[in-house]
Chain A
Amino acid sequence: MKINTIFTYIVLSILGVFFLIPFIWLFVESFSPINDIGLTVPTFLTLKPFYNVLTNRVFVNSIYEGLLQSLGATFLSLLFAVGPAYIFSRKRFKFRMPLLLGILFLTGFPVFSLLIPEYVFYIKTTLYNSVFGVVLFLGVLNLPIDIWLLKNSFDQIPQSIERAAFIDGASSLKSILYVFLPLAFPILAVLIILDFVINWGNFYVPYILLSSSHLLPISVEIYSFFGAFNVHYNELAAFSIIYTIPAIVLYIFSQKYMIKALSGGIKG
């Protein structure tokens, strides 16, 4: 091995350790009996922090709320992305390009600039402090990128296949259902993960749009640890690990499609 390569490995290893330390701390801390700050070797390992968290009704409820809001918003954005994606991909109409670029522009639009007017709007309607309000807002946030990615994936479906479906008697809706969506399934799987992870990790939207504590999702509930007089770091760590599980599970399930989607997609 050349000296250069060895050097590269050493530097990368050190960097890797730096990146890993927080995770290792999180993992070790979640099994520790006492609330230590800093990376120490615990005297014995225990499942007590997990037990404490999972038997706490507030925490369990926040997991439920988190799943409900994230999945709801994911479903909402995909549901409303399919139609526009199909139309942008297959139909030609006036202002198609400006609209498409507008959507692209929206994908980079900062969320926080919308939150304050949205907050005022929600207060004036009945949407403030309701799960539906949060689902709606999160869903709309992901809509532009969903439309774009889905449109690009629809673009790859050969025109002759669409025409074949038409000849075979499929309406636009039926050809979306039976031909376009199954063929775009890899991208769809990726979008489900992407949307879910973004929604699951979104802190500010539920934090600002919700006030009742029984509605707060897990991302906001984690923050409440720091408000307490005595911070239970081992329970916080355990809760954080639970917090990462859904995303990991989804990744594992959709790995197959991820690879497909990122390595070429649909062939006719």
Chain B
Amino acid sequence: MVNVELQKVSKSYGKVNVLKNLDLRIEDGEFFVLLGSSGSGKSTTLNILAGLDKLDSGKILFDNTLVNELSPIERGVALVFQNYALYPHMTVYKNMAFPLKMLNYRKERIGPIIKEVAEKLDITALLDRYPKELSGGQAQRVALGRALVRDPKIFLLDEPLSNLDANIRSKIRNDLKIMQEELGKTFVYVTHDQMEAMSLGDHVGILHNGKLEQFGKPIDIYKHPNNAFVATFLGDPEINLFSYSWNGKSFDGDGPFNFNININISKITMGIRPENISLEKKGANTMAGKIIPKVSELLGSHTLIVAKTLAGKDIKIITDMTDIPIGKEINVYANIEDCIMFDEQGETINI
């Protein structure tokens, strides 16, 4: 039972400040996802949590106990590496036995533990194989198994799905989620893939340039991003952003809609997600505008339209309709409540 807390953690490599006063709180037993693009400091955060890297300043607390100076074993953490890092000269069995061997467990005690874990992960048949004889998904499970045998309190996973083929990725993603719920352990999962973050995380932290931009439930972050960066980072296709300025009567800009809101800033950025724009007028729609579709892509259940506004700005729309007239002006509608407004610094304005 572990709550993890990072307090004002800073870390730099040479002159590069990777983490700047990072505060983070991870609840016991939750699936926490740390999301960020490359170079955002997410892997560094994970290494610091694991005890692989020393931090320059700040505190790491596990259940309010300072663990800054403790080794990975003493902290009770296990790390699953991006490339699994299985020992190539050992069989699956020996790979999984290694952490126990390092704890000076006797052979008779190691056997049953491995058997149990292997059954849980469905890898009993693989125990005699060498890592190079495993598929990506199998290697992944062995890596998890090696982490499991020691019964750690916290699992740290460093982009565990990025080395897998696309077709098994979503299956393994589901397996991971189910396993986390069965084990009831705290998982800290690092990824650059917003889809993984949205689908797996109980809570998501978005890291950008070593700072936590936003923290919360995935859907809350998606609906109420703190700033334009977070809004752009989450969602695929990404949010449409338009610049608007006050012309005396209403806000006017390169987006398809003109609108009027009560605010005392003259220049704002309006963001609207592709699925919040519709081609048909529905009862409560408060805004209407025109776009010129350029391309329409059928994505199965829905269609993605890439279009230009009359001011020449790209806009993406997701709709259920097919048969989109390319090159002709069509009407679009949206609700002002679905829009997110940002000021010139990119911070969200509450309306």
Interface residues of B in 66-84 (CB under 8 A from A): 71-73, 77-79, 81-83
The answer to whether A164 touches B85, judged by C-beta atoms less than 8 angstroms apart, is: yes
- Number of B residues, CB within 8 Å of A: 24
CA distance A31 to B87 in the complex (A): 52
Q: Would you call B89 an interface residue if the criterion is a C-beta within 8 Å of the partner chain's C-beta atoms?
A: yes
CA distance A79 to B323 in the complex (A): 76
Q: Would you call A169 an interface residue if the criterion is a C-beta within 8 Å of the partner chain's C-beta atoms?
A: yes
**Which of A158, A160, A179, A183: most chain B Cβ within 10 A?**
A160
Decide yes or no: A167 and B88 within 8 Å by CB, A174-B102, A178-B98 being known contacts. no
Of the residues B78, B85, B132, B150, contact of A160 by C-beta under 8 Å: B85
CA distance A160 to B79 in the complex (A): 11
Would you list 14 pairs from A and B whose C-beta atoms are within 8 A, ordered by A residue?
A: A158-B83, A161-B87, A163-B52, A163-B79, A163-B85, A165-B87, A167-B77, A167-B78, A167-B79, A168-B146, A170-B98, A183-B88, A183-B89, A267-B132
The answer to whether B81 touches A169, judged by C-beta atoms less than 8 angstroms apart, is: no
The 9 closest A-B pairs by CB, nearest first: A169-B102, A160-B85, A164-B85, A168-B99, A169-B73, A182-B89, A167-B72, A160-B81, A167-B79
Decide yes or no: A169 and B87 within 8 Å by CB, A160-B81, A160-B82, A164-B81 being known contacts. no
CB distance from A257 to the nearest CB of B (A): 13
Q: Would you call B50 an interface residue if the criterion is a C-beta within 8 Å of the partner chain's C-beta atoms?
A: yes
CB distance from A180 to the nearest CB of B (A): 11
Q: Would you call A204 an interface residue if the criterion is a C-beta within 8 Å of the partner chain's C-beta atoms?
A: no
CB-CB < 8 A to B52: which residues of A? 163, 166-167
CA distance A266 to B131 in the complex (A): 13
Further contacts, 12 of them, CB under 8 A, given A161-B88, A167-B72, A168-B146: A158-B83, A158-B85, A163-B52, A163-B81, A164-B79, A165-B98, A166-B52, A167-B79, A170-B98, A174-B102, A179-B87, A185-B89
CB-CB < 8 A to A161: which residues of B? 85, 87-88
CB-CB < 8 A to B101: which residues of A? 178
The answer to whether B88 touches A169, judged by C-beta atoms less than 8 angstroms apart, is: no
CB distance from B151 to the nearest CB of A (A): 13
The answer to whether A169 touches B83, judged by C-beta atoms less than 8 angstroms apart, is: no
CA distance A163 to B50 in the complex (A): 10
CB distance from B71 to the nearest CB of A (A): 8
Residues of B within 8 A of A (CB): 50, 52, 71-73, 77-79, 81-83, 85-89, 98-99, 101-103, 132, 146, 150
CB-CB < 8 A to A267: which residues of B? 88, 132
Closest to B81 in A: A160
Q: Would you call A268 an interface residue if the criterion is a C-beta within 8 Å of the partner chain's C-beta atoms?
A: yes
Residues of A within 8 A of B (CB): 158, 160-161, 163-170, 174, 178-179, 182-183, 185, 266-268
CA distance A182 to B87 in the complex (A): 10
The answer to whether A268 touches B89, judged by C-beta atoms less than 8 angstroms apart, is: no
Of the residues A158, A165, A167, A179, contact of B50 by C-beta under 8 Å: A167
CB-CB < 8 A to B132: which residues of A? 267
CA distance A158 to B88 in the complex (A): 11
CB-CB < 8 A to B79: which residues of A? 163-164, 167
Decide yes or no: A268 and B102 within 8 Å by CB, A160-B82, A167-B79, A168-B146 being known contacts. no
CB-CB < 8 A to B86: which residues of A? 164
CB-CB < 8 A to A167: which residues of B? 50, 52, 72, 77-79
CA distance A167 to B85 in the complex (A): 11
Closest to B71 in A: A169
CB-CB < 8 A to A165: which residues of B? 87, 98
CA distance A31 to B52 in the complex (A): 65
Decide yes or no: A169 and B103 within 8 Å by CB, A163-B52, A178-B98 being known contacts. yes
**Which of B50, B72, B88: most chain A Cβ within 10 A?**
B88
**Which of A161, A169, A174: most chain B Cβ within 10 A?**
A169
The answer to whether B102 touches A168, judged by C-beta atoms less than 8 angstroms apart, is: yes
Closest to B72 in A: A167
CA distance A268 to B99 in the complex (A): 19
CA distance A267 to B72 in the complex (A): 26
CB-CB < 8 A to A179: which residues of B? 87
CB-CB < 8 A to B50: which residues of A? 167
CA distance A178 to B99 in the complex (A): 12
**Which of A166, A168, A170, A268: most chain B Cβ within 10 A?**
A168
CB-CB < 8 A to A174: which residues of B? 102
CA distance A225 to B83 in the complex (A): 62
Closest to A179 in B: B87
The answer to whether B87 touches A170, judged by C-beta atoms less than 8 angstroms apart, is: no
The answer to whether A164 touches B87, judged by C-beta atoms less than 8 angstroms apart, is: yes
Decide yes or no: A266 and B88 within 8 Å by CB, A163-B52, A168-B99, A168-B102 being known contacts. yes
CB-CB < 8 A to B78: which residues of A? 167
CB distance from A156 to the nearest CB of B (A): 11
CB-CB < 8 A to B81: which residues of A? 160, 163-164
CB-CB < 8 A to A164: which residues of B? 79, 81, 85-87, 146
The answer to whether A169 touches B89, judged by C-beta atoms less than 8 angstroms apart, is: no
Of the residues A168, A170, A178, A268, contact of B88 by C-beta under 8 Å: A268
The answer to whether B83 touches A170, judged by C-beta atoms less than 8 angstroms apart, is: no
CB distance from A90 to the nearest CB of B (A): 13
CB distance from A260 to the nearest CB of B (A): 12
CB distance from A171 to the nearest CB of B (A): 8
CA distance A267 to B99 in the complex (A): 22
The answer to whether A168 touches B77, judged by C-beta atoms less than 8 angstroms apart, is: no
The answer to whether A169 touches B99, judged by C-beta atoms less than 8 angstroms apart, is: yes
Of the residues A158, A166, A182, A185, contact of B72 by C-beta under 8 Å: A166
CB distance from A36 to the nearest CB of B (A): 53
CB-CB < 8 A to A169: which residues of B? 71-73, 99, 102-103, 150
Closest to B90 in A: A182
